């Protein structure tokens, strides 16, 4: 009986450890990362993504990088008095236990000077770096934009 | 006419019309009035009426390098959007919407034309424009030409644009109008469609504008 209890104890410890580990890994979930298919001659592409902060601490996205682009910047489209403009952000704060969606017509990632044109089906990797030093590489989908995708 | 009357939006003006018709007086005038009311009621806010601006001759270059001038918009309903190809978010969103609008409208009307005018001709070469336009629809027209030149469409329509130029690189952004402008077959600037743009909204608005203008002319 004691042996069984011991085994159960070890099992519980192992289970807890794995949960803790899993939490560490998925402190931030990055999903729905997609790059809009664009004419091959354009020198700026756009990516959209969902960032979910599972932790109880505020997270801050400080950079996104990829060897495929000369630089990547966080921008937000603003339409005010019928005039469209973009604001650049040096970082993006994701409050504890919340989700931020970068969507068409709003926050987005500007991908400058693609080394090669991207086609539908390509899976380029973008690396997201957070202020706590965590770096998360994510494979993006290259998709056709739908006019009603907001 | 029957189908129009069955539409609930037309019910009140239609009933008014019928009552007047029944009294045997002023059918034509009341129909005109009901259409006028329709345009105002259905927030065609951007309609430039009763004094639409007459577009004067201009000279631009299309995405194939050919001259494009007033005669190219005469006799057509033109939808015009001003942007630049390095605009990755608002411009392609609007162009996708217009591709959808165009696909719908060409099945009903013969003289529809969608025009993209670059406010960034320095970077938007003919080749770039051509590739950009055909990505959305082979029938679209891309126009370049110095936006500040006298009589350019940009100046005639009064489009705001601003270059956020940086010294260090060529990745500058351009602020620009997000509206879509409608020029009628008599080359009058008829309406400004304001964002956010949705195909259904634009199609419905265009049909009302066209009906209104057709009744006026």
Q: Residue A22: what pLDDT?
A: 43
d(CA B5, CA A129): 60
- For residue A45, give the chain B residue with the closest CA: B88
pLDDT at A14 over 70: no
If one compares A17 and B74, the residue with the highest pLDDT of the two is: B74
Q: Residue B102: what pLDDT?
A: 98
Q: Into how many domains does chain A fold?
A: 1
- For residue B95, give the chain A residue with the closest CA: A147
Minimum distance, in Å, between the CA of residue A79 and any CA atom of chain B:
7
Chain A contact probe: residue of B63, B89, B203 with most A CBs at under 10 A: B89
Q: Examine residue A7 and state whether it is found in any structural domain, yes or no.
A: no
Using a 10 angstrom Cβ sphere, with 0-12 exposed, 13-18 middle and 19 or more buried, the burial of residue A67 is exposed
Q: Examine residue A99 and state whether it is found in any structural domain, yes or no.
A: yes
CATH number attached to the domain at B53-209: 3.40.30.10
What is the domain extent for residue A73? 27-143
Look up the ipTM and state it. 0.79
Put simply, the answer to whether B89 touches A77 (Cβ < 8 Å) is yes
Q: pLDDT exceeding 90 applies to what percent of chain A? A: 77
Which residue from A71, A84, A111 is facing B178, i.e. has the nearest CB?
A84
Q: Residue B168: what pLDDT?
A: 65
d(CA B145, CA B161): 14
Q: Examine residue A121 and state whether it is found in any structural domain, yes or no.
A: yes
Q: Respond yes or no on whether the N-terminal peptide bond of residue B50 is cis (omega within 30° of 0).
A: yes
Backbone phi, psi, residue A96, to 5°: -55, 140
Three-state DSSP state, B33: helix
d(CA A85, CA B204): 27
Backbone phi, psi, residue B71, to 5°: -60, -25
What is the pLDDT confidence band of residue B46, given thresholds at 50, 70 and 90? confident
Q: Examine residue A68 and state whether it is found in any structural domain, yes or no.
A: yes
| All structural domains of chain B with their residue ranges | 2-41, 53-209
pLDDT in tens, A39-53: 999 999 999 999 999
If one compares B168 and B158, the residue with the highest pLDDT of the two is: B158
Answer whether B168 touches A (CB < 8 Å). Answer: no
Q: Rounded to two decimals, what is the model's pTM?
A: 0.79
d(CA A45, CA A113): 8
Residues 19-48 of A with CB under 8 A from B: 36, 38-46
pLDDT in tens, A53-86: 999 999 999 999 999 999 999 999 999 999 999 9
Q: Residue B167: what pLDDT?
A: 58
Put simply, the answer to whether A44 touches B171 (Cβ < 8 Å) is yes
Minimum distance, in Å, between the CA of residue B94 and any CA atom of chain A:
8
Q: Residue A134: what pLDDT?
A: 93
CATH number, domain with residue A136: 2.60.40.1890
pLDDT in tens, B6-26: 344 444 454 444 433 443 333
DSSP H/E element including B176: strand B173-177
Q: Residue B4: what pLDDT?
A: 36
pLDDT in tens, B96-131: 999 999 999 999 999 999 999 999 999 999 999 999
Q: Examine residue A6 and state whether it is found in any structural domain, yes or no.
A: no
Minimum distance, in Å, between the CA of residue B96 and any CA atom of chain A:
5
Q: Residue A149: what pLDDT?
A: 60
Q: Residue A7: what pLDDT?
A: 58
């Amino acid at each position: 009986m004691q042996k069984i209890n011991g085994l159960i104890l070890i099992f519980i410890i192992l289970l807890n450890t794995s949960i803790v580990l899993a939490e560490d890994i998925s402190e931030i979930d990055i999903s729905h990362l997609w790059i809009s298919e664009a004419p091959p001659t354009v020198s700026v592409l756009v990516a959209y993504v969902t960032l979910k902060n599972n932790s109880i601490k505020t997270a801050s996205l400080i950079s996104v990088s990829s060897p495929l682009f000369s630089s990547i910047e966080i921008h937000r489209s603003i339409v005010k008095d019928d005039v469209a403009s973009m604001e650049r952000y040096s970082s993006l704060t994701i409050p504890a236990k919340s989700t931020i969606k970068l969507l068409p017509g709003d926050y987005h990632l500007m991908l400058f000077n693609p080394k090669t044109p991207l086609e539908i089906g390509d899976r380029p990797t973008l690396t997201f770096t957070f202020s706590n030093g965590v770096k998360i590489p994510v494979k993006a989908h290259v998709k056709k934009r739908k006019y009603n995708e907001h | 006419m029957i189908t129009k009357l069955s539409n609930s939006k037309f019910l009140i003006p239609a009933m008014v019309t019928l009552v007047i018709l029944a009294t045997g007086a002023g059918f034509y005038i009341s129909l005109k009035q009901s259409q006028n009311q329709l345009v105002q009621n259905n927030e065609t806010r951007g309609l430039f009426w009763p004094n639409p601006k007459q577009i004067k001759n201009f000279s631009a270059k299309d995405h194939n390098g050919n001259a494009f001038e007033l005669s190219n918009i005469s006799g057509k309903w033109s939808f015009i959007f001003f942007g630049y190809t390095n605009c990755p978010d608002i411009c392609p969103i609007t162009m996708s919407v217009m591709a959808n609008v165009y696909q719908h409208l060409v099945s009903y009307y013969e003289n529809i034309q969608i025009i993209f005018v670059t406010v960034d001709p320095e970077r938007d070469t003919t080749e770039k424009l051509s590739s950009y336009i055909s990505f959305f629809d082979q029938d679209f027209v891309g126009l370049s030409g110095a936006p500040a030149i006298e009589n350019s469409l940009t100046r005639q329509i009064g489009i705001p644009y601003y270059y956020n130029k940086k010294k260090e690189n060529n990745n500058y952004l351009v602020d620009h109008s997000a509206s879509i402008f409608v020029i009628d077959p008599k080359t009058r600037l008829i309406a400004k469609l304001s964002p956010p743009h949705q195909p259904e909204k634009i199609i419905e608005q265009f049909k009302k504008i066209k009906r209104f203008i057709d009744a006026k002319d």
